Amino acid sequence: MKVRLLDIAHARSGDKGDTANVGVIANRPEWFPLIARELTQARVTQHFAGMIEGEVDRFELPNLNALNFLLHGALGGGGTLSLKTDAQGKVYSTALLRMMLDVPDAEARALGLPSA
């Protein structure tokens, strides 16, 4: 089943220099393991291809049912140097929530995931 990340998680992002961070939080604690499994460093790197110049770091915060990603080289030099509309990376959060996940039907049903 196709599941949109937007329907199962929420997120906030911000900046540190030329790096944007995206914190993504499961809407329900029981959905966190699935999100942690699907949002690998490679998958998020691929998702943001063409939008960032550097690497992606990934951190787990199971205590908050959250993951944190650092997107390096995301802000056109960062802060005041940047020519971008989103110079401080405030909406990389919603860009991540566009991601579609492929979840086995049985698992999706068991977890009560909303279908995209």
Residue ranges that bind another protein, judged by CB under 8 A: 10-19, 21, 23-25, 27, 47, 49-51, 57, 59-66, 68, 70, 76-81, 83-86, 91, 93-95, 97-98
Please give the radius of gyration of the chain, using alpha carbons only, rounded to the nearest integer: 14
Question: Among residues 17 and 105, whose Cβ is nearest to another protein?
Answer: 17
- Mention every residue, 6+ apart, whose C-beta is less than 8 A from residue 41: 56, 57, 58
Q: How far is the CB of 21 from another protein (least distance, A)?
A: 5
- CB distance 26 to 106 below 8 Å: no
Question: Among residues 1 and 7, whose Cβ is nearest to another protein?
Answer: 7
Q: What is the DSSP letter of 93?
A: H
